[in-house]
Structure 1
Amino acid sequence: MQTALSSVLLDVPRAAAIWLALLVLAVVAVAGLVARPDLFRSVIGGRIREAAMPSLLEEAAEERAQRRYADEVATAAERAAATASRMRAEWLSAQDEVEAAWQAYEAAEADVRRLAAATALPRPHTERTPAEYADRERYLHRAALDAYWRRELSEEQLSDVFAHRNGWDPRLHPVDQELVLRRAVRDHLRARQEAAQEREQAAWRAAEQAAVAARSLRDEAFAATVPAPQEQESLLPGVGDEPSPAAEQTREMPVVARQKPAVARGRAAVPA
Protein backbone atom coordinates (compact mmCIF):
# COMPACT_ATOMS: atom_id res chain seq x y z
CA MET A 1 0.00 0.00 0.00
CA GLN A 2 2.76 2.38 0.86
CA THR A 3 4.59 1.42 -2.30
CA ALA A 4 1.55 2.24 -4.51
CA LEU A 5 0.97 5.54 -2.68
CA SER A 6 4.60 6.53 -3.00
CA SER A 7 4.54 5.79 -6.76
CA VAL A 8 1.43 7.93 -7.20
CA LEU A 9 2.97 10.80 -5.25
CA LEU A 10 6.05 10.62 -7.46
CA ASP A 11 3.90 11.03 -10.62
CA VAL A 12 1.96 14.02 -9.31
CA PRO A 13 4.64 16.67 -10.06
CA ARG A 14 5.11 15.28 -13.57
CA ALA A 15 1.37 15.40 -14.29
CA ALA A 16 1.14 18.89 -12.85
CA ALA A 17 3.97 20.00 -15.14
CA ILE A 18 2.19 18.54 -18.19
CA TRP A 19 -1.11 20.21 -17.31
CA LEU A 20 0.69 23.48 -16.67
CA ALA A 21 2.37 23.29 -20.12
CA LEU A 22 -0.99 22.58 -21.79
CA LEU A 23 -2.54 25.50 -19.93
CA VAL A 24 0.24 27.81 -21.11
CA LEU A 25 -0.24 26.68 -24.72
CA ALA A 26 -3.99 27.27 -24.47
CA VAL A 27 -3.43 30.75 -23.04
CA VAL A 28 -0.97 31.58 -25.83
CA ALA A 29 -3.40 30.31 -28.49
CA VAL A 30 -6.29 32.31 -27.05
CA ALA A 31 -4.13 35.42 -26.82
CA GLY A 32 -3.07 34.94 -30.44
CA LEU A 33 -6.66 34.58 -31.59
CA VAL A 34 -7.66 37.69 -29.70
CA ALA A 35 -4.74 39.69 -31.07
CA ARG A 36 -4.85 38.34 -34.69
CA PRO A 37 -8.31 36.94 -35.53
CA ASP A 38 -7.66 37.28 -39.28
CA LEU A 39 -4.73 34.85 -39.02
CA PHE A 40 -7.02 32.08 -37.83
CA ARG A 41 -9.56 32.83 -40.55
CA SER A 42 -7.01 32.87 -43.39
CA VAL A 43 -5.13 29.75 -42.28
CA ILE A 44 -8.14 27.60 -41.48
CA GLY A 45 -10.09 28.89 -44.49
CA GLY A 46 -7.15 28.21 -46.81
CA ARG A 47 -6.79 24.67 -45.50
CA ILE A 48 -10.50 24.01 -45.91
CA ARG A 49 -10.43 25.36 -49.47
CA GLU A 50 -7.39 23.24 -50.32
CA ALA A 51 -9.11 20.18 -48.94
CA ALA A 52 -12.32 20.90 -50.86
CA MET A 53 -10.68 21.84 -54.20
CA PRO A 54 -10.10 19.06 -56.76
CA SER A 55 -6.74 17.42 -56.85
CA LEU A 56 -4.00 18.37 -59.29
CA LEU A 57 -4.59 15.21 -61.29
CA GLU A 58 -8.25 16.03 -61.75
CA GLU A 59 -7.40 19.58 -62.82
CA ALA A 60 -4.87 18.27 -65.35
CA ALA A 61 -7.47 15.84 -66.73
CA GLU A 62 -10.00 18.65 -67.02
CA GLU A 63 -7.46 20.82 -68.84
CA ARG A 64 -6.67 18.02 -71.30
CA ALA A 65 -10.37 17.45 -71.92
CA GLN A 66 -10.87 21.18 -72.45
CA ARG A 67 -7.97 21.36 -74.92
CA ARG A 68 -9.29 18.31 -76.78
CA TYR A 69 -12.75 19.84 -76.97
CA ALA A 70 -11.30 23.15 -78.19
CA ASP A 71 -9.32 21.32 -80.91
CA GLU A 72 -12.41 19.42 -82.06
CA VAL A 73 -14.51 22.58 -82.19
CA ALA A 74 -11.73 24.43 -84.06
CA THR A 75 -11.56 21.62 -86.63
CA ALA A 76 -15.33 21.68 -87.04
CA ALA A 77 -15.22 25.48 -87.43
CA GLU A 78 -12.60 25.18 -90.19
CA ARG A 79 -14.69 22.62 -92.05
CA ALA A 80 -17.80 24.74 -91.64
CA ALA A 81 -15.92 27.78 -92.97
CA ALA A 82 -14.79 25.79 -96.02
CA THR A 83 -18.36 24.61 -96.57
CA ALA A 84 -19.66 28.17 -96.27
CA SER A 85 -17.06 29.37 -98.79
CA ARG A 86 -18.07 26.62 -101.23
CA MET A 87 -21.76 27.42 -100.77
CA ARG A 88 -21.09 31.09 -101.42
CA ALA A 89 -19.19 30.24 -104.61
CA GLU A 90 -22.13 28.10 -105.75
CA TRP A 91 -24.53 30.94 -104.99
CA LEU A 92 -22.43 33.41 -107.01
CA SER A 93 -22.34 30.93 -109.89
CA ALA A 94 -26.12 30.57 -109.67
CA GLN A 95 -26.42 34.35 -109.81
CA ASP A 96 -24.37 34.42 -113.01
CA GLU A 97 -26.59 31.69 -114.45
CA VAL A 98 -29.71 33.68 -113.64
CA GLU A 99 -28.26 36.78 -115.28
CA ALA A 100 -27.31 34.88 -118.42
CA ALA A 101 -30.74 33.22 -118.60
CA TRP A 102 -32.46 36.58 -118.23
CA GLN A 103 -30.41 38.15 -120.99
CA ALA A 104 -31.21 35.22 -123.29
CA TYR A 105 -34.90 35.58 -122.51
CA GLU A 106 -34.83 39.31 -123.24
CA ALA A 107 -33.13 38.64 -126.59
CA ALA A 108 -35.79 36.03 -127.46
CA GLU A 109 -38.56 38.44 -126.49
CA ALA A 110 -37.04 41.09 -128.75
CA ASP A 111 -36.96 38.57 -131.63
CA VAL A 112 -40.64 37.76 -131.07
CA ARG A 113 -41.60 41.42 -131.15
CA ARG A 114 -39.56 41.98 -134.31
CA LEU A 115 -41.07 38.99 -136.12
CA ALA A 116 -44.58 39.87 -134.93
CA ALA A 117 -44.16 43.25 -136.59
CA ALA A 118 -42.79 41.57 -139.74
CA THR A 119 -45.80 39.26 -140.07
CA ALA A 120 -48.02 42.31 -140.51
CA LEU A 121 -46.35 43.03 -143.85
CA PRO A 122 -47.68 41.36 -147.04
CA ARG A 123 -45.92 38.10 -147.92
CA PRO A 124 -44.80 37.09 -151.40
CA HIS A 125 -47.22 34.73 -153.11
CA THR A 126 -46.01 31.15 -153.55
CA GLU A 127 -47.73 28.25 -155.18
CA ARG A 128 -49.12 25.71 -152.72
CA THR A 129 -47.74 22.55 -154.25
CA PRO A 130 -46.59 19.35 -152.57
CA ALA A 131 -42.99 20.38 -153.23
CA GLU A 132 -43.58 23.76 -151.54
CA TYR A 133 -45.10 22.06 -148.50
CA ALA A 134 -42.19 19.63 -148.38
CA ASP A 135 -39.73 22.54 -148.45
CA ARG A 136 -41.62 24.27 -145.64
CA GLU A 137 -41.59 21.10 -143.56
CA ARG A 138 -37.85 20.61 -144.09
CA TYR A 139 -37.26 24.25 -143.17
CA LEU A 140 -39.26 23.87 -139.95
CA HIS A 141 -37.46 20.67 -138.93
CA ARG A 142 -34.03 22.14 -139.67
CA ALA A 143 -34.76 25.39 -137.76
CA ALA A 144 -36.13 23.44 -134.79
CA LEU A 145 -33.07 21.16 -134.70
CA ASP A 146 -30.74 24.15 -134.81
CA ALA A 147 -32.63 25.76 -131.94
CA TYR A 148 -32.52 22.50 -129.98
CA TRP A 149 -28.74 22.17 -130.37
CA ARG A 150 -28.43 25.78 -129.15
CA ARG A 151 -30.45 24.66 -126.08
CA GLU A 152 -33.28 27.00 -127.03
CA LEU A 153 -35.86 24.21 -127.27
CA SER A 154 -36.58 21.30 -124.96
CA GLU A 155 -36.89 17.68 -126.00
CA GLU A 156 -40.66 17.81 -125.55
CA GLN A 157 -40.91 20.82 -127.83
CA LEU A 158 -38.73 19.17 -130.47
CA SER A 159 -40.90 16.07 -130.30
CA ASP A 160 -43.98 18.25 -130.85
CA VAL A 161 -42.31 19.80 -133.91
CA PHE A 162 -41.74 16.45 -135.61
CA ALA A 163 -45.19 15.21 -134.53
CA HIS A 164 -46.83 18.38 -135.88
CA ARG A 165 -48.88 19.01 -132.73
CA ASN A 166 -49.40 21.86 -130.23
CA GLY A 167 -49.45 24.54 -132.91
CA TRP A 168 -46.60 23.23 -135.11
CA ASP A 169 -47.96 23.28 -138.67
CA PRO A 170 -45.44 22.62 -141.45
CA ARG A 171 -47.83 24.08 -144.05
CA LEU A 172 -47.45 27.63 -142.67
CA HIS A 173 -45.42 30.25 -144.45
CA PRO A 174 -41.75 30.29 -143.35
CA VAL A 175 -42.27 33.71 -141.76
CA ASP A 176 -45.17 32.35 -139.68
CA GLN A 177 -43.15 29.23 -138.84
CA GLU A 178 -40.28 31.40 -137.66
CA LEU A 179 -42.64 33.39 -135.44
CA VAL A 180 -44.03 30.19 -133.89
CA LEU A 181 -40.49 28.93 -133.39
CA ARG A 182 -39.34 32.20 -131.76
CA ARG A 183 -42.31 32.13 -129.41
CA ALA A 184 -41.52 28.56 -128.40
CA VAL A 185 -37.88 29.55 -127.82
CA ARG A 186 -39.00 32.49 -125.71
CA ASP A 187 -41.25 30.30 -123.57
CA HIS A 188 -38.48 27.75 -123.07
CA LEU A 189 -35.94 30.41 -122.11
CA ARG A 190 -38.46 31.95 -119.73
CA ALA A 191 -38.97 28.60 -118.00
CA ARG A 192 -35.22 28.06 -117.84
CA GLN A 193 -34.74 31.53 -116.31
CA GLU A 194 -37.37 30.81 -113.65
CA ALA A 195 -35.73 27.48 -112.82
CA ALA A 196 -32.34 29.19 -112.56
CA GLN A 197 -33.84 31.79 -110.25
CA GLU A 198 -35.26 29.07 -107.98
CA ARG A 199 -31.86 27.38 -107.86
CA GLU A 200 -30.25 30.72 -107.04
CA GLN A 201 -32.68 31.25 -104.14
CA ALA A 202 -32.00 27.75 -102.82
CA ALA A 203 -28.24 28.33 -103.11
CA TRP A 204 -28.59 31.63 -101.26
CA ARG A 205 -30.49 29.98 -98.39
CA ALA A 206 -27.92 27.19 -98.19
CA ALA A 207 -25.07 29.74 -98.17
CA GLU A 208 -26.78 31.72 -95.40
CA GLN A 209 -27.27 28.61 -93.26
CA ALA A 210 -23.67 27.55 -93.82
CA ALA A 211 -22.42 31.04 -92.88
CA VAL A 212 -24.49 31.03 -89.68
CA ALA A 213 -23.22 27.57 -88.75
CA ALA A 214 -19.61 28.59 -89.42
CA ARG A 215 -19.99 31.77 -87.38
CA SER A 216 -21.53 29.84 -84.46
CA LEU A 217 -18.75 27.24 -84.49
CA ARG A 218 -16.12 29.98 -84.73
CA ASP A 219 -17.56 31.68 -81.65
CA GLU A 220 -17.73 28.36 -79.85
CA ALA A 221 -14.10 27.63 -80.71
CA PHE A 222 -13.02 31.04 -79.44
CA ALA A 223 -14.98 30.56 -76.22
CA ALA A 224 -13.39 27.13 -75.76
CA THR A 225 -9.86 28.56 -76.03
CA VAL A 226 -10.50 31.35 -73.50
CA PRO A 227 -10.77 29.96 -69.95
CA ALA A 228 -13.74 31.21 -68.00
CA PRO A 229 -12.89 33.20 -64.86
CA GLN A 230 -13.35 31.09 -61.74
CA GLU A 231 -14.49 32.89 -58.68
CA GLN A 232 -13.31 31.18 -55.53
CA GLU A 233 -16.00 31.60 -52.93
CA SER A 234 -15.59 30.90 -49.29
CA LEU A 235 -16.58 27.35 -48.45
CA LEU A 236 -17.67 28.24 -44.92
CA PRO A 237 -19.37 31.47 -44.02
CA GLY A 238 -17.17 33.79 -42.02
CA VAL A 239 -13.98 31.77 -42.67
CA GLY A 240 -11.25 33.20 -44.86
CA ASP A 241 -13.16 36.41 -45.66
CA GLU A 242 -11.91 39.71 -44.39
CA PRO A 243 -14.72 41.62 -42.72
CA SER A 244 -15.34 44.92 -44.43
CA PRO A 245 -15.19 48.16 -42.43
CA ALA A 246 -18.86 48.71 -43.18
CA ALA A 247 -19.70 45.30 -41.77
CA GLU A 248 -17.60 45.95 -38.67
CA GLN A 249 -19.30 49.30 -38.23
CA THR A 250 -22.73 47.74 -38.74
CA ARG A 251 -21.92 45.05 -36.24
CA GLU A 252 -20.75 47.55 -33.65
CA MET A 253 -23.51 50.13 -34.20
CA PRO A 254 -26.94 49.63 -32.65
CA VAL A 255 -30.04 49.28 -34.78
CA VAL A 256 -31.05 52.67 -36.19
CA ALA A 257 -34.61 53.46 -37.17
CA ARG A 258 -35.02 53.76 -40.94
CA GLN A 259 -35.98 57.11 -42.33
CA LYS A 260 -39.11 57.39 -44.42
CA PRO A 261 -38.10 58.06 -48.05
CA ALA A 262 -39.30 61.22 -49.70
CA VAL A 263 -42.18 60.68 -52.10
CA ALA A 264 -41.77 62.30 -55.51
CA ARG A 265 -44.68 64.26 -56.86
CA GLY A 266 -45.90 64.81 -60.39
CA ARG A 267 -45.34 62.58 -63.49
CA ALA A 268 -41.88 61.56 -62.31
CA ALA A 269 -43.46 59.62 -59.46
CA VAL A 270 -45.23 57.23 -61.87
CA PRO A 271 -42.94 54.55 -63.32
CA ALA A 272 -42.97 54.37 -67.10
Structure 2
Amino acid sequence: MNTVLSQFLIGVPTATAIWSLLLVLALTGLAVLVARPERDQATELTPVVPPPDDPPPVADLRRYAEEVAVAAAGAAQTARRHRAAWLAAQDTLDRAWQAYDEAETTARRFVGAGALPSPRTPRTPAEYAGRERWLHQEAVAAHWRGELSVERLRDVFAHRDGWDPRRHPVEHEVMLARAVREDRRAAYRAAAWRERVAWRDAELAAEAARSLAVEAYAATQRVRPGRVPLPRTATSAATRPTRATRWHPARVG
Protein backbone atom coordinates (compact mmCIF):
# COMPACT_ATOMS: atom_id res chain seq x y z
CA MET A 1 0.00 0.00 0.00
CA ASN A 2 2.81 2.37 0.77
CA THR A 3 4.52 1.46 -2.51
CA VAL A 4 1.45 2.29 -4.61
CA LEU A 5 0.93 5.57 -2.80
CA SER A 6 4.53 6.59 -3.30
CA GLN A 7 4.43 5.77 -7.02
CA PHE A 8 1.25 7.84 -7.39
CA LEU A 9 2.77 10.84 -5.65
CA ILE A 10 5.87 10.64 -7.82
CA GLY A 11 3.91 10.22 -11.12
CA VAL A 12 1.43 13.10 -10.63
CA PRO A 13 3.99 15.94 -10.92
CA THR A 14 5.52 14.30 -13.98
CA ALA A 15 2.14 14.03 -15.72
CA THR A 16 1.33 17.58 -14.78
CA ALA A 17 4.54 18.83 -16.33
CA ILE A 18 3.90 16.86 -19.53
CA TRP A 19 0.35 18.19 -19.87
CA SER A 20 1.56 21.73 -19.20
CA LEU A 21 4.16 21.41 -21.96
CA LEU A 22 1.57 20.08 -24.40
CA LEU A 23 -0.80 22.94 -23.55
CA VAL A 24 1.92 25.54 -24.16
CA LEU A 25 2.76 24.00 -27.55
CA ALA A 26 -0.93 23.92 -28.53
CA LEU A 27 -1.43 27.60 -27.61
CA THR A 28 1.73 28.57 -29.52
CA GLY A 29 0.55 26.78 -32.67
CA LEU A 30 -2.89 28.37 -32.41
CA ALA A 31 -1.33 31.83 -32.10
CA VAL A 32 0.79 31.20 -35.22
CA LEU A 33 -2.22 30.07 -37.21
CA VAL A 34 -4.23 33.13 -36.16
CA ALA A 35 -1.46 35.63 -36.92
CA ARG A 36 -0.40 34.15 -40.30
CA PRO A 37 -3.50 35.28 -42.34
CA GLU A 38 -2.94 38.86 -41.21
CA ARG A 39 0.63 38.74 -42.43
CA ASP A 40 -0.50 37.20 -45.72
CA GLN A 41 -3.22 39.85 -46.13
CA ALA A 42 -0.74 42.62 -45.36
CA THR A 43 1.61 41.14 -47.93
CA GLU A 44 -1.16 41.06 -50.55
CA LEU A 45 -2.14 44.71 -49.88
CA THR A 46 1.42 45.96 -50.20
CA PRO A 47 1.74 47.54 -53.67
CA VAL A 48 4.30 46.00 -55.92
CA VAL A 49 6.57 48.72 -57.20
CA PRO A 50 7.83 47.82 -60.67
CA PRO A 51 11.49 48.36 -61.31
CA PRO A 52 12.26 51.68 -62.98
CA ASP A 53 12.29 51.62 -66.76
CA ASP A 54 15.59 51.79 -68.40
CA PRO A 55 16.29 55.20 -69.94
CA PRO A 56 15.87 55.28 -73.71
CA PRO A 57 19.03 55.03 -75.76
CA VAL A 58 20.79 58.22 -76.76
CA ALA A 59 20.14 57.45 -80.44
CA ASP A 60 16.38 57.43 -79.85
CA LEU A 61 16.55 60.69 -77.92
CA ARG A 62 18.61 62.28 -80.68
CA ARG A 63 16.20 61.08 -83.37
CA TYR A 64 13.23 62.44 -81.43
CA ALA A 65 14.99 65.78 -80.89
CA GLU A 66 15.65 66.06 -84.64
CA GLU A 67 12.02 65.28 -85.51
CA VAL A 68 10.71 67.82 -83.02
CA ALA A 69 13.18 70.42 -84.31
CA VAL A 70 11.90 69.92 -87.88
CA ALA A 71 8.30 70.21 -86.69
CA ALA A 72 9.13 73.36 -84.72
CA ALA A 73 10.77 74.95 -87.77
CA GLY A 74 7.71 74.18 -89.90
CA ALA A 75 5.38 75.57 -87.26
CA ALA A 76 7.44 78.76 -87.03
CA GLN A 77 7.22 79.21 -90.80
CA THR A 78 3.47 78.64 -90.69
CA ALA A 79 3.14 81.19 -87.87
CA ARG A 80 5.07 83.78 -89.90
CA ARG A 81 2.83 83.15 -92.91
CA HIS A 82 -0.34 83.57 -90.84
CA ARG A 83 1.03 86.73 -89.27
CA ALA A 84 1.77 88.18 -92.70
CA ALA A 85 -1.77 87.32 -93.79
CA TRP A 86 -3.17 89.02 -90.69
CA LEU A 87 -1.12 92.16 -91.31
CA ALA A 88 -2.39 92.26 -94.90
CA ALA A 89 -5.96 91.83 -93.67
CA GLN A 90 -5.44 94.63 -91.19
CA ASP A 91 -4.20 96.94 -93.95
CA THR A 92 -7.24 96.04 -96.03
CA LEU A 93 -9.46 96.81 -93.05
CA ASP A 94 -7.86 100.22 -92.59
CA ARG A 95 -8.36 101.07 -96.27
CA ALA A 96 -11.97 99.87 -96.15
CA TRP A 97 -12.63 102.08 -93.13
CA GLN A 98 -11.07 105.08 -94.82
CA ALA A 99 -13.16 104.51 -97.95
CA TYR A 100 -16.34 104.20 -95.91
CA ASP A 101 -15.50 107.34 -93.94
CA GLU A 102 -15.06 109.29 -97.18
CA ALA A 103 -18.36 107.95 -98.55
CA GLU A 104 -20.11 108.85 -95.30
CA THR A 105 -18.75 112.39 -95.50
CA THR A 106 -19.92 112.74 -99.10
CA ALA A 107 -23.40 111.37 -98.38
CA ARG A 108 -23.73 113.62 -95.34
CA ARG A 109 -23.54 116.66 -97.59
CA PHE A 110 -26.86 115.65 -99.16
CA VAL A 111 -28.76 115.32 -95.88
CA GLY A 112 -30.88 118.40 -96.51
CA ALA A 113 -31.15 117.90 -100.26
CA GLY A 114 -34.55 116.23 -99.97
CA ALA A 115 -36.11 119.37 -98.62
CA LEU A 116 -35.19 121.35 -101.74
CA PRO A 117 -37.42 121.20 -104.82
CA SER A 118 -36.01 119.57 -107.94
CA PRO A 119 -34.96 121.97 -110.71
CA ARG A 120 -37.64 122.48 -113.35
CA THR A 121 -36.71 121.19 -116.79
CA PRO A 122 -38.85 120.48 -119.84
CA ARG A 123 -40.29 116.98 -119.64
CA THR A 124 -39.59 115.78 -123.13
CA PRO A 125 -38.43 112.39 -124.45
CA ALA A 126 -35.01 113.91 -125.13
CA GLU A 127 -34.79 115.15 -121.52
CA TYR A 128 -35.69 111.74 -120.14
CA ALA A 129 -33.23 110.04 -122.46
CA GLY A 130 -30.51 112.43 -121.30
CA ARG A 131 -31.31 111.72 -117.65
CA GLU A 132 -31.13 107.98 -118.22
CA ARG A 133 -27.85 108.29 -120.11
CA TRP A 134 -26.34 110.43 -117.34
CA LEU A 135 -27.43 107.94 -114.66
CA HIS A 136 -25.94 104.98 -116.50
CA GLN A 137 -22.65 106.79 -117.12
CA GLU A 138 -22.27 107.87 -113.51
CA ALA A 139 -23.16 104.40 -112.22
CA VAL A 140 -20.62 102.71 -114.51
CA ALA A 141 -17.92 105.22 -113.52
CA ALA A 142 -18.63 104.61 -109.82
CA HIS A 143 -18.44 100.87 -110.40
CA TRP A 144 -15.06 101.10 -112.17
CA ARG A 145 -13.73 103.22 -109.29
CA GLY A 146 -14.71 100.42 -106.94
CA GLU A 147 -17.40 102.48 -105.24
CA LEU A 148 -20.49 100.64 -106.52
CA SER A 149 -21.00 96.89 -106.44
CA VAL A 150 -21.97 94.93 -109.52
CA GLU A 151 -25.30 94.02 -107.91
CA ARG A 152 -26.10 97.68 -107.42
CA LEU A 153 -25.06 98.41 -111.01
CA ARG A 154 -27.50 95.78 -112.25
CA ASP A 155 -30.28 97.41 -110.27
CA VAL A 156 -29.47 100.75 -111.91
CA PHE A 157 -29.68 99.35 -115.45
CA ALA A 158 -32.76 97.28 -114.60
CA HIS A 159 -34.44 100.32 -113.00
CA ARG A 160 -35.03 98.41 -109.76
CA ASP A 161 -34.88 99.47 -106.09
CA GLY A 162 -35.95 103.07 -106.79
CA TRP A 163 -33.61 103.71 -109.73
CA ASP A 164 -36.07 105.59 -111.96
CA PRO A 165 -34.30 107.09 -115.01
CA ARG A 166 -36.96 109.80 -115.20
CA ARG A 167 -35.72 111.39 -111.96
CA HIS A 168 -33.67 114.55 -112.11
CA PRO A 169 -29.85 114.14 -112.11
CA VAL A 170 -29.71 115.91 -108.76
CA GLU A 171 -31.84 113.16 -107.23
CA HIS A 172 -29.71 110.54 -108.96
CA GLU A 173 -26.58 112.10 -107.51
CA VAL A 174 -28.00 111.86 -104.00
CA MET A 175 -29.04 108.23 -104.56
CA LEU A 176 -25.61 107.35 -105.95
CA ALA A 177 -23.87 108.90 -102.94
CA ARG A 178 -26.02 106.91 -100.54
CA ALA A 179 -25.58 103.71 -102.54
CA VAL A 180 -21.79 104.14 -102.50
CA ARG A 181 -21.93 104.66 -98.73
CA GLU A 182 -23.94 101.47 -98.22
CA ASP A 183 -21.64 99.38 -100.43
CA ARG A 184 -18.53 100.67 -98.70
CA ARG A 185 -20.10 99.96 -95.32
CA ALA A 186 -20.72 96.37 -96.41
CA ALA A 187 -17.12 96.13 -97.69
CA TYR A 188 -15.83 97.41 -94.36
CA ARG A 189 -17.82 94.86 -92.39
CA ALA A 190 -16.58 92.04 -94.64
CA ALA A 191 -12.99 93.24 -94.20
CA ALA A 192 -13.46 93.38 -90.42
CA TRP A 193 -14.69 89.78 -90.38
CA ARG A 194 -11.73 88.61 -92.50
CA GLU A 195 -9.32 90.45 -90.21
CA ARG A 196 -10.76 88.74 -87.12
CA VAL A 197 -10.43 85.32 -88.77
CA ALA A 198 -6.85 86.08 -89.81
CA TRP A 199 -5.99 87.19 -86.27
CA ARG A 200 -7.43 84.01 -84.78
CA ASP A 201 -5.44 81.84 -87.22
CA ALA A 202 -2.26 83.79 -86.48
CA GLU A 203 -2.78 83.43 -82.73
CA LEU A 204 -3.31 79.67 -82.95
CA ALA A 205 -0.29 79.25 -85.23
CA ALA A 206 1.90 81.30 -82.88
CA GLU A 207 0.83 79.21 -79.89
CA ALA A 208 1.58 75.97 -81.74
CA ALA A 209 5.00 77.26 -82.82
CA ARG A 210 5.85 78.33 -79.28
CA SER A 211 4.86 74.95 -77.82
CA LEU A 212 6.93 73.04 -80.36
CA ALA A 213 9.91 75.33 -79.80
CA VAL A 214 9.82 74.65 -76.04
CA GLU A 215 9.49 70.90 -76.67
CA ALA A 216 12.38 70.97 -79.16
CA TYR A 217 14.60 72.73 -76.61
CA ALA A 218 13.68 70.20 -73.91
CA ALA A 219 14.42 67.29 -76.28
CA THR A 220 17.82 68.79 -77.10
CA GLN A 221 18.61 69.14 -73.42
CA ARG A 222 17.75 65.47 -72.81
CA VAL A 223 20.25 64.38 -75.45
CA ARG A 224 23.16 66.26 -73.86
CA PRO A 225 24.86 64.33 -71.05
CA GLY A 226 24.69 65.83 -67.60
CA ARG A 227 21.68 67.99 -68.47
CA VAL A 228 18.54 67.91 -66.38
CA PRO A 229 15.47 67.48 -68.59
CA LEU A 230 13.06 70.39 -68.49
CA PRO A 231 9.50 69.77 -67.35
CA ARG A 232 6.91 69.28 -70.08
CA THR A 233 4.98 72.51 -69.61
CA ALA A 234 5.06 73.72 -73.19
CA THR A 235 1.32 74.30 -73.33
CA SER A 236 0.93 75.97 -69.96
CA ALA A 237 -0.69 79.35 -69.59
CA ALA A 238 2.66 81.04 -69.02
CA THR A 239 3.90 80.09 -72.51
CA ARG A 240 0.81 81.16 -74.42
CA PRO A 241 1.24 84.30 -76.51
CA THR A 242 -0.50 87.35 -75.16
CA ARG A 243 -2.91 89.11 -77.42
CA ALA A 244 -1.53 92.37 -78.74
CA THR A 245 -3.50 95.56 -78.26
CA ARG A 246 -4.87 96.57 -81.64
CA TRP A 247 -6.62 99.73 -82.70
CA HIS A 248 -9.96 99.31 -84.40
CA PRO A 249 -12.09 102.05 -85.90
CA ALA A 250 -15.55 102.47 -84.48
CA ARG A 251 -17.96 99.83 -85.66
CA VAL A 252 -20.53 100.98 -88.18
CA GLY A 253 -24.24 100.77 -87.70
- State the TM bucket, normalised to the shorter chain: 0.5 to 0.7
Distance 1:110 1:53, change over 3 A: closer
1:154-169 matches, within 5 Å, as: 154-169=149-164
Aligned residues: 174
CA distance in 1, matches of 2:66, 2:112: 69
* Deviation (angstroms), 1:123: 4.2
Contact 1:119–1:175 under 8 Å retained in 2: no
Q: Which amino acid aligns with 1:136?
A: R
1:138-149 matches, within 5 Å, as: 138-149=133-144
* Deviation (angstroms), 1:119: 4.6
Structure 1 position 186 matched with structure 2 position 181: yes
Q: Which amino acid aligns with 1:160?
A: D
Contact 2:99–2:184 under 8 Å retained in 1: yes
* Deviation (angstroms), 1:121: 4.0
Distance 1:122 1:76, change over 3 A: same
CA distance in 2, matches of 1:198, 1:172: 37
1:56-75 matches, within 5 Å, as: 62-75=57-70
CA distance in 2, matches of 1:149, 1:124: 29
Matched with 1:89 is: 84
CA distance in 2, matches of 1:146, 1:139: 11
Provide Cα deviations, 1:82-121, integer angstroms capped at 9, x if missing partner: 1111111111111111111011111111111112334544
Structure 1 position 100 matched with structure 2 position 89: no
Matched with 2:10 is: none
1:31-50 matches, within 5 Å, as: none
Matched with 1:224 is: 219
CA distance in 2, matches of 1:63, 1:70: 10
Matched with 2:145 is: 150
Structure 1 position 136 matched with structure 2 position 136: no
Residue 226 of structure 1: SS of its match in structure 2? helix
Structure 1 position 112 matched with structure 2 position 112: no
Q: Which amino acid aligns with 2:82?
A: M
CA distance in 2, matches of 1:164, 1:213: 54
Q: TM-score, normalised by structure 1?
A: 0.60
Provide Cα deviations, 1:203-228, integer angstroms capped at 9, x if missing partner: 00000000000000000000100126
* Deviation (angstroms), 1:53: 9.6
Matched with 2:206 is: 211
- 1:199 is matched with which residue: 194, 197, 200? 194
Residue 121 of structure 2: SS of its match in structure 1? coil
Contact 2:221–2:228 under 8 Å retained in 1: no
Distance 1:53 1:76, change over 3 A: closer
CA distance in 2, matches of 1:85, 1:76: 14
Residue 220 of structure 1: SS of its match in structure 2? helix
Q: List gaps (5 residues or longer) in structure 1.
A: 1-51, 231-272
1:234-245 matches, within 5 Å, as: none
* Deviation (angstroms), 1:122: 4.6
Q: List gaps (5 residues or longer) in structure 2.
A: 1-51, 230-253
Q: Which amino acid aligns with 2:172?
A: Q
CA distance in 1, matches of 2:196, 2:86: 8
Structure 1 position 175 matched with structure 2 position 154: no
CA distance in 2, matches of 1:208, 1:149: 36
Q: TM-score, normalised by structure 2?
A: 0.65
Contact 1:133–1:171 under 8 Å retained in 2: yes
The percentage of aligned residue pairs carrying the same residue is 57
Please identify, of 102-111 and 200-209, the stretch whose mean Cα deviation from structure 2 is larger: 102-111
CA distance in 1, matches of 2:115, 2:133: 24
